[in-house]
Every structure is written in C-alpha cells, then in structure tokens.
Amino acid sequence: MIDTRRLRTLRAVADHGTVTGAAAALHLTPSAVSQQLVALEHEVGHRLFTRDGRGVRLTAVGRIMLGHANEVLAQLERAEAEVAAYATGAAGEVTVACFATAISAVLSPAIADLRVKAPGLEVRVRDAEGDHGLALLLDGEADLTIAVEYRGAPDAADRRLSRLPLYAEPFDLVLPQDHPLVLADHPHDHPRPDDDARATALGDVPLAALGDEPWIGPYPGNPVHDVITFACEQAGFTPRFAHSSDDFRAVVALVGAGAGVALVPRLALRDMVLPGVAVRRTPGPERRVFAAVRRGADVHPLLRPLLDTLRTVAGSLVHD
C-alpha cells in the first residue's frame, strides 16, 4: 500500500528539484524527506530519482508515479471539498497569495463583497510577487493564488492546478516628460498619466523606437520582467535594464527623474500621482492574470464563493 504522504513528498521533490528545497516546503528535515523517498521506492519497487548535479531528477518510473500522484492528490482535495460541502453553514479561513496590483484591483473588492455574501469566510492575504504565489500554492502554504502568465509558468493542462482566467491588461509606456518622443507629439502639452483620452490622442509609440534607451523595470524572476523582455525582443531588441525595482511607484518615479523609460501595467498606473512623466500607448504587450487552486479544490465551499466573486470583480475591470 502506497502512503499518500509519500506521494506529497514525491511531488515536492519534483517541484523543487532538491531534497533540501522540498524539506523546507514540507517543514521536514532533509533526512526525513530522504527516508520517505527511500520508503516510497521500496513500496514501488523501482528507483524514482537519480542525482543531477546538486539536485535530483525523476527517472522514467518516477515520472509515471508523479502523474499518478497528481491525480491521487487531486482526488483527495475533491474528497475534502465534498465533505466540507456536506456540512452546513460553511465557515473558515482561506489564505490567498497575490501580487500587489491584483490585491488592489480585484482581491480587496472581492473581500469587501464577501463580508456581506459569505460572512463566515475569512480571507488571509499574503503579498506574493513573481512566481512565488504559485510556489506557495503548490507547497500548501496558500489555498488560492492570483498570478501572472509568464514563460515557464504552469499551463492550463498542468494536472496539479485548476485555473480561472481573470483579466488581461495592456502595458503603457512611461516616458520622461521631456523625452524627444513626447515633445515631438505636442511640444507644449504634457498629458497627465491618468488622462487616457489625451494619451490616446497623442498616438501610440512603437517599442522599436526605444531600443537604445535605458530601461527601468522589475527584477528577473518577476513575471512582468519576462513580459517586458519578450515584448522588446518581439520589437527587435533586448532591453538594457539600468535600474530595477518590483515597486511600480518606484519605477515611475525613476522615469520622472529622467533615469530611463518603462513599461507598466495599466492598472498599476491607476490613481497614481506621476509627476514629470508622460504616458503613451504601445501595441502588443499585456499582462494576463489568473486565479489558481490545487486541482480538486475548486468545488470547496470556502473557495467556490471566492472564485465566483473574483470572476465577477475581474469582469467589471475596463481597460480601454
């Protein structure tokens, strides 16, 4: 009989690529993780991992077992959800890992709605930038995450997750107010960043025109850094990041100081006071945001109303 706790250990080691990383995620010692893997290999009768430098990688049998582990663990999530649904008057706590802009744009309004619609539901928020939210979800540290699509992110076919698309927002180009491309549009007229109509009237700026500029943006590892880099590559150049910050207010402040140019998600610019900059539309790049839970947990009575409310709030966002 295969112990399901060892299947969780198998998946954690596969996700993190090292015994040490899996041990930290599972709150176990590396020795305990190694013992569980040895026991699982004994139960299966085959080697599941082989050494790969400082880490480990799955053997062919290990990959087979991982696929079954994902299905078994998803079924357990469904079982817990159905048992919880059987109980009346669902009440409890849900931990949500989410990046800052989505906390403001969708999660906070959703929490406000749920205080009326589901007063027994308590939402605990963890600010998680980059791909950290997905790691927290898969490691069991969060029940739901709101994350951004990026190269290398788990896709819709990933058997560990159930995903709900929420919204897609374009990126706007933020330039110093005295940038030649701004002055060429209207030499005596500097639009406010929150004035979308005027920004549109002044026309789009192609990214290809900014290949030689110093860029300001998030650190590598933040999905927005990946989106910006990919968009610039599509325009024919690799951006030279002169300054890095994961805080969009800091990014825009640096632009206002004349330190470079930036691409910023439109919702991050909303309600921001942005002295010394001009905002322009640029075709192409956008940030795709989704909610995810562990597969099988999407019918849990504490998660279902939160997912439904997030979908409703996200549907009301307008990005014209």
The one-letter amino acid at 117: K
Q: How far is CA 190 from CA 102, 183, 271, 282, in A?
A: 29, 8, 18, 17
User: Strand, helix or coil at 317?
Assistant: coil
- Structure confidence at residue 203 (pLDDT): 58
Which domains, ranges and CATH numbers included, belong to the chain? 4-81 (1.10.10.10), 91-168+289-315 (3.40.190.10), 169-285 (3.40.190.10)
Torsion of CA 88, 90, 92, 98, to 10 degrees: 160
pLDDT value, residue 316: 87
Residues 6+ apart with CB under 8 A from 272: 193, 194, 248, 249, 252
- Cα of 32 vs its chain's centroid, Å: 31
Q: What angle do CA 181, 182, 183 make, to 5 degrees?
A: 95
Find out whether 144 and 94 touch, Cβ atoms under 8 Å: yes
For residues 33 and 19, what is the distance between their CA atoms, to the nearest angstrom?
A: 7
pTM greater than 0.75: no
Between the two ends of the chain, the Cα-to-Cα distance in Å is 56
DSSP per position, 46-80: S--EEEETTEEEE-HHHHHHHHHHHHHHHHHHHHH
**Phi/psi at 241 (5° precision):** -80, 110
Whether the CB-CB separation of 213 and 270 falls below 8 Å is answered with no
With tokens 């969780």, the residue in question is: 8
DSSP 261: B
Strands of 277-294's sheet in order across: 121-127, 92-98, 144-148, 277-294, 161-176, 262-265
Element (H, E) at 30: helix 30-44
Residues 111 and 252: beta-carbon distance below 8 Å: no
At 185 the pLDDT is 67
Which H or E run includes 200?
Answer: helix 196-201
* pLDDT, tens digit, 9 for 90 and up, residues 138-180: 999 999 999 998 777 777 788 889 999 999 999 999 999 999 9
Distances (CA, A) of 203 to 62, 194, 212, 314: 54, 15, 21, 28
**pLDDT tens for the chain, residues 1 to 320:** 777 888 889 899 888 989 889 898 888 898 888 888 888 888 888 888 888 888 888 899 888 888 888 888 888 887 777 676 555 456 788 999 999 999 999 999 999 999 998 888 899 999 998 678 999 999 999 999 999 987 777 777 888 899 999 999 999 999 999 999 888 765 444 444 444 433 333 458 889 999 999 999 999 988 899 889 999 999 999 999 999 999 999 999 999 999 999 999 999 998 888 889 999 998 878 889 999 999 988 888 889 999 999 999 999 885 44
Whether 223 contacts 150, CB under 8 Å: yes
